[in-house]
Structure 1
């Protein structure tokens, strides 16, 4: 089963100003809580501002390869949350990190060399690449139906021409689907004891695991409120269609 090697960027959502967290974990200057640890808005500011200051160092080759000159705060919050979750999971399971350098991340991800963003991504990838392999799975009927419903919603499946009962066996054998569900369960396991709360301005915050050609979300792991092991919207990789054409 293929291991998660990188994290796809989430779809940027509009920022809401003046929103305060509800309940006891309510500090407005906190972007997210992971257990007793806080990810502050100041940390996010530092990474975003450093990226803006160093984007001028992007090479023509990086720009030609599609290097982004902006950095979404949601992406930063997701990375910092996943760092904390992975490190807690690592302490629980005892797996070793795989060395990944900021320079490697900057080169492969077309990021400014020496940026805090490249450093944070390297820290995350070092941990996630050491995670145990996702166990092979047999998808449940509910998981397959949830995926099928998302395919219908984006127009990738036509219930009149290809009803669920006629395509579920194909979905259940699709390697992209199996890999996404396996990794979804693995990350859901990692999230169980993490107790993540995300500031409302960054919700919904989801880790995409399978995305459609138009970047429509199919399977993801929600981070924070809303449950952590439901198959939900999130951007499938380009390739053979998941549902055969009629």
Structure 2
């Protein structure tokens, strides 16, 4: 699979944090704490339920327009890809991002519109769409405002593993192929910025005593990657494991000197791992 297309479509890695009980906070109705701020399970579920209902209506309407008023899509087709976990990720991510931005006095610009994101998600006019727009504005501001981290082979491997986990990249790439996939200057700059953001979030988690209800497996940091001529792709990056141990990606070491050919803007998709990626990605 070619580097630009692989990375552009990337999605889903995770950030684990302490359980509520481990931090002395064990209210069953609370999904997560960020310092003294509590995000309720009811609110998380309500945001997801609204998005699911809107998505189902949107998909059903489009399906019937194409196949007749009596046609009915499969139950699987009617399920929105986002989960309650994703809603919690947005709530906590917005909270942490605002704290970092206020501390570091990073300017924020309104770059993404809730209406447009809602349409792309199939859930226009929902709180989910608004939260996503708010989050990505904060994310892009932090990405531009934080000093970038140096990339190591371990960091590249972490990102690559999540691409494979999301069924975006084929398994089996060597270290050299991973280096080539991230050699494009535009891609490397953005990934380095997200690694830096991951480290900043890890520090904020410690400072604000962030904790999550055990019913949610992890917290995730949603990220965007802009690929020339391909728009934005969504993916996530880990910075803590389930035992609150800092991962390698949060403690960057000097990167080895590596290089690789730039991916052309007209690179096409592929699935052969042997081809080499560098030859052508509020509280409640």
TM class by shorter-chain length?
0.5 to 0.7
- Deviation, 1:48, is 2.0
Asked if 1:221 is matched to 2:238, the reply is yes
- Deviation, 1:96, is 2.8
Aligned equivalents of 1:67, 1:181: Cα separation in 2: 36
Contact map agreement 2:195 2:237 (CA 8 A) in 1: yes
- Higher relative contact order structure (alpha carbons within 8 Å, sequence separation ≥ 6): 2
> 5+ residue gaps in structure 1?
1-5, 13-18, 212-217, 233-237
Aligned equivalents of 1:98, 1:204: Cα separation in 2: 29
- Deviation, 1:199, is 1.6
The structure that has the greater radius of gyration is 2
Within 5 A, what are the aligned runs for 1:76-87?
Answer: 76-87=87-98
- Deviation, 1:50, is 2.1
Asked if 1:201 is matched to 2:219, the reply is no
Structural RMSD (CA): 4.4
Contact map agreement 2:23 2:211 (CA 8 A) in 1: no
1:46 maps to 46
Change (3 A) 1:231 1:103: same
Asked if 1:156 is matched to 2:171, the reply is yes
- Deviation, 1:31, is 0.9
The one of 178, 182, 197 equivalent to 2:193 is 182
Aligned equivalents of 2:182, 2:9: Cα separation in 1: 23
Contact map agreement 2:54 2:122 (CA 8 A) in 1: no
Secondary structure of the equivalent of 1:173?
Answer: coil
Change (3 A) 1:130 1:24: same
The one of 173, 180, 184 equivalent to 1:170 is 180
Contact map agreement 1:144 1:168 (CA 8 A) in 2: yes
Equivalent pairs counted in the alignment come to: 217
Asked if 1:107 is matched to 2:109, the reply is no
- Deviation, 1:68, is 6.1
Aligned equivalents of 2:114, 2:161: Cα separation in 1: 39
Contact map agreement 2:20 2:26 (CA 8 A) in 1: yes
Asked if 1:230 is matched to 2:248, the reply is yes
Change (3 A) 1:8 1:68: farther
- Deviation, 1:185, is 2.0
Contact map agreement 1:188 1:229 (CA 8 A) in 2: no
Secondary structure of the equivalent of 1:85?
Answer: helix
> 5+ residue gaps in structure 2?
1-7, 67-75, 226-234, 251-267, 277-284
- Deviation, 1:202, is 1.3
Aligned equivalents of 1:204, 1:109: Cα separation in 2: 22
1:22 maps to 22
Aligned equivalents of 2:170, 2:137: Cα separation in 1: 37
1:123 maps to 134
2:103 maps to 92
Aligned equivalents of 1:8, 1:167: Cα separation in 2: 17
TM-score normalised by L of structure 2: 0.58
